[in-house]
Structures are given as structure tokens and as C-alpha cells.
């Protein structure tokens, strides 16, 4: 983990754009509370094929109006070059200088038109070609291997393509096994990948929802953890309290091992991420 230790730690929060005006009002309160913790930035997810484009823009607008450092996610699958360019120009005009560049997954029922980009490395290459060094580019990394990867080796090679195309930094898919992250970093070092790889942290709040997300994203919930959480049944308080202990310990292990920060998947909630932040003594 030598290569990770030299980076200045970055602590950040991820939001998703709400579907309703009421959701947006609630999110404004969440943002204001989480911003008191002084994160490096907030990122805002974006639906592939532009499915949540306007809602992402509205959330980003609000963050910018509050003077908060913002990193919109931008996924490319199903999009054409001119559409992506329009979005990049929009963000550049807004003074945004950080983007999370992704391939994304086509939502089911949106048709098979693949657009001009097949993989995220092509998006990174395009952004660099068209906008030079204006944007600091984050990309996704998968310590437990992307579910569509043919092999673990191929997945690492594909990660390197994004780095070689000009990614500055990476955020991982969430995981509950610190060793998977440490091994991933060692594999990166063997490939001379030296950009910061910031672990994505998913607080444990709701077991059914977590199990569903984990199946879709290829994240392993270790047997010992699954059994404990399942055993609590509908006892939400016990799930949250046990989950908080487990995730606090995970974060401590990652930081002790040299992780260059943490990116919290807030699920638009103040409580779990801010509690973790406090447990870890993060100053922001
Ligand atoms: P890629 O890096 O393109 O990889 C996708 C798959 O293709 C991998 O299996 C990879 O090994 C393979 N591959 C990559 N390049 C090549 C190549 N050149 N040749 C052959 N195979 C290749 N989704 C959203 O829709 N919106 C979001 O806002 C969003 N935010 C995310 C944030 C983070 C931090 C993470 C980790 C994921 C996020 N996702 C989001 C989910 C992500 O879009 C999916 O995991 C998607 O399936 C892959 O996107 P990617 O950018 O990692 O793709």
C-alpha cells in the first residue's frame, strides 16, 4: 500500500438525485447537515442513458448555489459524443472541475442503442481530448471484481486502461472485506497504477436493500455478516447498531492500511454517514 500512503486523504459523500420535489426538499436538509462535517466534495449519481439527467442537474445546481464542491457522475453508455460534450460544456460553465466518469448500465427497457461509447476508458479519453486537464477525473474500481469482467486479470487491465486514458483518481464499489481492497492495491502497484484508489463505504442500514444491491453489483456480504444481519430479522435497531460497529472497524482497517480517504454512499441520509465520520474522528 506504499503508493497510496503518499496521497492526501480525501473524505467525500455521494448523493443520488431525488425523484420528487418533497425528496429534493429533504435532500437539501441532508446536504446542509452533512456539509457541516466539511467534506472534500459531494458527488451526485447519474442514470445511464440520461435517465436521471435533469434530476442530477437540479441537485448539482443546488450544491453549486450553496458554494459546495461538487462532482457530478457522468455515465456514457447509450450516449453520443455531442450529448456528452454538451454536458461537459454545461458543467465547465458552472465552474465544476471534478467528474466521476463511468460507463453505467443501460436500464432495462431502454432499448439496445449502445451510443458512441462502449467502456468508461473511452469516456475518459474523450473528456481529456476535448477538455484537456480542466476536469479532475474519478473512475470506478472493483476490489471484488466487476460482475461482467471475464477474469480478475482482465478487470485489472481494463482498470488500467482508464488510468492510462487520464483518470486522476478512483472510487471503489463498496465491499466488507478489507483484504480485497489491500490485494487490489497490490495488484495495481504491480501494474504501475499509482493513482489514489479511495474505498467506497456503504453503511449498513437495511439488510433487504443491502442484499439486493450487493447481488446486482457483485459485492460479497461475508457469511458471518449475512448470518448476523439475517438473524436480527425486523429488529432494525440491532441491524444498524451491529452494522455501525462492522463498518467503523472496516474503515479503521482501511485507513490504518493507508487508504487515501473514504467516499461514503450516504443513500441521502445524514445519520449513518455522519455517525461513521464521528466514530473515525474525521476532521474533513
Ligand atoms: P467500465 O470501466 O467500462 O467497466 C465495465 C465492464 O467492462 C468491466 O467488467 C470491465 O472489466 C469491462 N471493460 C472495461 N473496459 C473494457 C475494454 N476496453 N474492453 C473489454 N472490456 C472492458 N452507475 C450509474 O448508472 N450511475 C452512476 O452515477 C454510478 N456511479 C457509480 C459510482 C461508483 C464509485 C461505482 C463504483 C459505480 C457506479 N455506478 C454508477 C455503477 C457503474 O456504472 C457500473 O458498475 C457499470 O456496470 C460499470 O461502469 P464502469 O464505469 O466501471 O465501467
The pLDDT of residue 170: 98
Residue ranges of domains in the chain, CATH in brackets: 2-279 (3.20.20.220)
DSSP state of 268: T
pTM of the model: 0.97
Question: Residue 50: is its pLDDT beyond 70?
Answer: no
pLDDT tens for each residue of 227-254: 999 999 999 999 999 999 999 999 999 9
- Say if residue 46 is exposed, middle or buried (CB neighbours under 10 Å; 0-12, 13-18, 19+): buried
Question: Residue 107: is its pLDDT beyond 90?
Answer: no
The pLDDT of residue 6: 83
Q: Is the distance from the beta carbon of residue 140 to the nearest atom of ligand 1 less than 6 Å?
A: yes
Rounded to the nearest angstrom, the distance between the alpha carbon of 236 and the centre of ligand 1 is 32
Question: Which cell is 10 given?
Answer: 480525501
Rounded to the nearest angstrom, the distance between the alpha carbon of 218 and the centre of ligand 1 is 12
The pLDDT of residue 111: 62
pLDDT tens for each residue of 75-89: 999 999 999 999 999
Question: Residue 72: is its pLDDT beyond 90?
Answer: yes
Q: Is the distance from the beta carbon of residue 46 to the nearest atom of ligand 1 less than 6 Å?
A: yes
User: What is the band of 51 on the pLDDT scale with cuts at 50, 70, 90?
Assistant: low
pLDDT tens for each residue of 33-42: 999 999 999 9
User: What is the band of 114 on the pLDDT scale with cuts at 50, 70, 90?
Assistant: confident
Question: Which cell is 230 given?
Answer: 439475517
Share of the chain above pLDDT 70, in %: 96
Average pLDDT, the chain: 94
Of 52, 75, 169, the one to substitute when testing ligand 1's pocket (max ligand atoms within 8 A of C-beta) is 75
The pLDDT of residue 2: 61
Amino acid at each position: 500500500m506504499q503508493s497510496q500512503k503518499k496521497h492526501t486523504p480525501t473524505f467525500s459523500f455521494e448523493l443520488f438525485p431525488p425523484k420528487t420535489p418533497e425528496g429534493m426538499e429533504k435532500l437539501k436538509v441532508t446536504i446542509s447537515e452533512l456539509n457541516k462535517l466539511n467534506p472534500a466534495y459531494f458527488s451526485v449519481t447519474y442514470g445511464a442513458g440520461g435517465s436521471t439527467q435533469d434530476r442530477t442537474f437540479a441537485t448539482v445546481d443546488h450544491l453549486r448555489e450553496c458554494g459546495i464542491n461538487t462532482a457530478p457522475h457522468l455515465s456514457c453508455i447509450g450516449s453520443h459524443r455531442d450529448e456528452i460534450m454538451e454536458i461537459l460544456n454545461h458543467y465547465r460553465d458552472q465552474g465544476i472541475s471534478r467528474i466521476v466518469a463511468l460507463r453505467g448500465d443501460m436500464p432495462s427497457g431502454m432499448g439496445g442503442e449502445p451510443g458512441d461509447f462502449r467502456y468508461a476508458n473511452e469516456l475518459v479519453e474523450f473528456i481529456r481530448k476535448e477538455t484537456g486537464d480542466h476536469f479532475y477525473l474519478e473512475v470506478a474500481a472493483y476490489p471484488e471484481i466487476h460482475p461482467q469482467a471475464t477474469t480478475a486479470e482482465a478487470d485489472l487491465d481494463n482498470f488500467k486502461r482508464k488510468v492510462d486514458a487520464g483518470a486522476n483518481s478512483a472510487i471503489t464499489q463498496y465491499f466488507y472485506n478489507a483484504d480485497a481492497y489491500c490485494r487490489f492495491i497490490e495488484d495495481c502497484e504491480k501494474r504501475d497504477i499509482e493513482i489514489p484508489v479511495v474505498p467506497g463505504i456503504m453503511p449498513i442500514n437495511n439488510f433487504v436493500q443491502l442484499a439486493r444491491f450487493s447481488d446486482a453489483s457483485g459485492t460479497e456480504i461475508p457469511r458471518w455478516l449475512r448470518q448476523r444481519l439475517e438473524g436480527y430479522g425486523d429488529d432494525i435497531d440491532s441491524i444498524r447498531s451491529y452494522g455501525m460497529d462492522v463498518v467503523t472497524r472496516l474503515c479503521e482497517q482501511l485507513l490504518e492500511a493507508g487508504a487515501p480517504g473514504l467516499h461514503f454512499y450516504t443513500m441521502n441520509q445524514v445519520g449513518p454517514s455522519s455517525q461513521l465520520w464521528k466514530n473515525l474522528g474525521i476532521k474533513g
